Structure 1
Amino acid sequence: MADHPGPQAGGVLIAVAVMAGTILGGLMNQPSLGLLAGLAIGVAAAVALWLADRRKIGR
């Protein structure tokens, strides 16, 4: 057995942020801008989670 837990899943953060950004952007008549903003926020959150996970494992 592994002595450390598996990595966290950050892909869900990207998916949820893209959907939320598209919906919020659509409400403001800017769905493309909302999609891009959601994508940027989701990727930033996933990278932050990945870096925190790496630091926790000690790599």
Structure 2
Amino acid sequence: MTRSSSRTPMAGGFLLAISLIAGSVIGAIRGQASIGFVAGLGVGLALLIAVWLIDRLRTR
């Protein structure tokens, strides 16, 4: 029998999307939209993993 959790998990997808958009915009302003996109992806993934880890620790 599995344990049911009444608490809903946190979502980090919003942080990833905002990081991608912000990175692309900042990169486009500086003339390097692709590098900005990749940097935004890196920051967004780091934030997404941090949210996931925090959520895992809180549910235990």
Q: Take 1:3 and 1:30, find their aligned partners in 2: how far apart are those partners?
A: 45
* Counterpart residue number, 1:21: 23
Gaps in structure 1 of 5+ consecutive residues: none
Gaps in structure 2 of 5+ consecutive residues: none
| Structure 1 SS opposite 2:7 | coil
* Counterpart residue number, 1:43: 45
Runs of 4+ in 1 over 4 A off after TM superposition: none
Indicate the structure (1 or 2) with the bigger Cα radius of gyration. Answer: 2
**C-alpha displacement at 1:19, in angstroms?**
0.1
Q: Take 2:5 and 2:41, find their aligned partners in 1: how far apart are those partners?
A: 34
TM-score normalised by structure 1 residue count: 0.90
Give the letter for the 2:13 counterpart.
Answer: G
Q: Take 2:56 and 2:11, find their aligned partners in 1: how far apart are those partners?
A: 13
Q: How high is the sequence identity, in percent, across the aligned residues?
A: 39
* Counterpart residue number, 2:36: 34
> How many positions carry a matched residue from both structures?
57
